[in-house]
Each structure stands twice: as C-alpha cells, then as structure tokens.
Amino acid sequence: MVSADFARNLLGVIGNVISIVLFLSTVPTFYRIWKNKSVERFSPIPYLVTFVNCGLWVFYGLPLVHPHSLLVTTTNGAGLLIESIYIFLFIIYSDNKKRLRVLLVLVVEIIFLGVLVVLVLTLAHTTKLRSAIVGGICIGGNIMMYASPLSVMKLVIATKSVEYMPFLLSLFCFANGVCWFSYALIRFDPFVAVPNGIGALFGLAQLILYATFYKSTQEIIAKREGKNGLDLGNMATSTGDIIGQVERV
C-alpha cells in the first residue's frame, strides 16, 4: 500500500514538472515578441505577479520558515528565474512609457520581498509563526497570480478573440492548480490548498473561454490575412497599371 508521504512526495515531484512546464508555456509568446521586436498587446501583469508570487513561495518553502516543503522552494526557484527572463525581454521590447511602468513595479516587488524576509526572520522566532505570516501572504500572491489573466480574459470577451491569451498557459494553470491542491490535501496545508484550488477554477474558466472563442479567433485571423493579401494584390495591380502607362508613353 502506498503511504501518504510517498503519495505527497510523488505529487510534489509531478507538481514541480507541471509548474516548470507552466512557466515555460509562454516561450512561444516571447519568441513572437522577440521576433517582432514588440510586445504588441500582450500584458506584463501575469509575469510581474508570477515573479513576486514565486519569490514568496521560495521563502515559504525554506526549512527555516516551513519545514518539509523543499519541493515548493525548488519549483518556485525555477519559476523566479524564468519569469525574470520574461520580464527582462518585456522591458527591452516595450515602448518607453510601458517600460518605465514595468521597471517601477519590478523595483517595488523586489523591495517588498527583501523587507518581508528581514522582518519575518527578525521578528518571528518559530517556524509555526513564520509559516502563518508568510503562508497568509502567499495565499494572496497565489490568488493574484492565477487571477492575473483576468485582464486578458476581459480583452478576449471584448474582441471575441483568444489570440492574446496563450492556450498552453491556461492549460497548465489548470493542471498546476489541480496537482498542488491534491498535494496539499494529503498532509493538509491550507496555505497551499486554498490558492491552488481557486487557481484550478480560474484555469478551468480560461479553458472554457478559449473553447468558446477559438472559432471566432480563426475567422478574425483569416479575415485579417485575407485583407492584407487583398491590399498587396491591389498594390501590385496599381503598380502594373503605372508601369503600363509609362511604357505606352
């Protein structure tokens, strides 16, 4: 019979893999940004929120804060590094106004994390108290991370297009929430269970939205590409007419 600890560790390892895949799922988005040298209408909010959230969970999973949760630290440590790269690319390819906003938010987040670490380690002297303080803040951070695509979901509903809501990000948000929610239930940890249970629901909502507007998105893209092709055809025709007139003269 499989022990509870073995099942928990197994789910933790699976959660690590899913979480890293989740963090990497937006690579195609940033490849597009790098290729086009523009962030277009992509929002920096999900990446900024995920950055600070990963920082919080790295701290929470340390033995001096919450023992027996090192798997939480490893997965979020990887996420912190990946999100840092994303934000760096976002800063490079944003216009000056957006770049300044992103930098300002990033600096505030780093200061917040630093102050939190110092205060908790200085003023709270037991792991139980540290877990309660950091875990409570982590719940808010995790819910914000899962809810951050809401701004994109609003854009999806307004435009009836999921072009700027990456499917893989939504899919792995759902899978990640389900996995870590299950992990937290085995040796009950409300600080992990609550936000990830809510995260699974947010991920499911995004998938439903994606399925709803997938067809209309394809129609919008096809119409846009067809229009561009028509414009090029008209340009070629006009150019041919001009050349023909010059030849006749």
Q: Please say if the pLDDT value at position 97 is more than 70.
A: yes
Which pLDDT does position 184 carry in this prediction? 84
35-77 confidence digits (pLDDT tens)? 888 888 788 888 898 899 899 989 998 999 988 778 788 888 9
Query: 190: pLDDT confidence band, cut at 50, 70 and 90?
Result: confident
Which pLDDT does position 81 carry in this prediction? 93
Which pLDDT does position 169 carry in this prediction? 76
Which pLDDT does position 110 carry in this prediction? 95
Which pLDDT does position 58 carry in this prediction? 92
Q: Which two tokens stand for residue 144?
A: 């914000």
Which pLDDT does position 115 carry in this prediction? 96
In this predicted model, which residue has the larger pLDDT, 113 or 156?
Answer: 113
Number of residues in the chain: 249
Rounded mean pLDDT of 122-126? 91
Which pLDDT does position 245 carry in this prediction? 36
Query: 148: pLDDT confidence band, cut at 50, 70 and 90?
Result: low
Q: Which two tokens stand for residue 180?
A: 């870590």
Q: What is the mean pLDDT of the chain?
A: 81
Closest CA to 51 of 92, 72, 29, 81: 81
Q: Please say if the pLDDT value at position 248 is more than 90.
A: no
Contacts of 92 by beta carbon, 8 Å cutoff, 6+ apart: none
Q: Please say if the pLDDT value at position 239 is more than 60.
A: no
Tracing tokens 């893209």 back to the chain, one arrives at 221
Query: 202: pLDDT confidence band, cut at 50, 70 and 90?
Result: confident
1-41 confidence digits (pLDDT tens)? 567 777 877 887 887 788 788 788 788 888 888 988 888 87
Which pLDDT does position 227 carry in this prediction? 67
Angle, in degrees to the nearest 10, between helices 4-24 and 167-186: 160
Inter-CA distances, 63 with 142, 144, 186, 196, Å: 20, 25, 19, 21
Rounded mean pLDDT of 189-208? 85
In this predicted model, which residue has the larger pLDDT, 20 or 232?
Answer: 20
In this predicted model, which residue has the larger pLDDT, 162 or 246?
Answer: 162
Query: 221: pLDDT confidence band, cut at 50, 70 and 90?
Result: confident
In this predicted model, which residue has the larger pLDDT, 72 or 132?
Answer: 132
Inter-CA distances, 3 with 8, 46, 69, 189, Å: 9, 37, 17, 18
